[in-house]
Amino acid sequence: MKTFARAAWVAAWAAAGAGCAAGPAERPSARLFEIRTYTAHPGKMEALHRRFREHTHRLFLRHGIEPVGYWTVSAGEGAETTLVFLLAYPGREAREAAWKAFQADPEWQRAKAESEREGPLVARVDSRFLTPADYSPLR
């Protein structure tokens, strides 16, 4: 799974930063990135996709959480149960405030409760915070 998470991050970085030719002095200040890997309970992946499609993505935007991209495993281990996504924030304090507001949002609480009437969708959450290197095209 570690290899997959690393590969997903590289894909996210390449997709979001492709074509960026600005030099270090021309780039905006570095943001904080968070790569999250959700492992769904068996049989719950489609419900997790539906919740992201219909609620989570829009609510992230509402609360200042910038989704860079969402990915699934195309083959092999985790193909039926893994969702990986990359989020961006202006900084750590902004991240903490955004997640606090997101989790307190009554619409999110309803969407989560409704989607989990027959049990939780996510078995495991892995999260890592990333800071762009000074030569990263994605800042």
pLDDT in tens, 68-83: 999 999 999 999 999 9
The domain spans of the chain are 2-13+31-130
pLDDT score at 28: 53
pLDDT in tens, 9-42: 444 544 444 434 444 444 456 799 999 999 999 9
Cβ contact 86:12 at 8 Å: yes
pTM of the prediction? 0.79
CA 2 – CA 10 distance, rounded (Å):
12
Fold of 2-13+31-130: Alpha-Beta Plaits (3.30.70)
pLDDT score at 47: 98
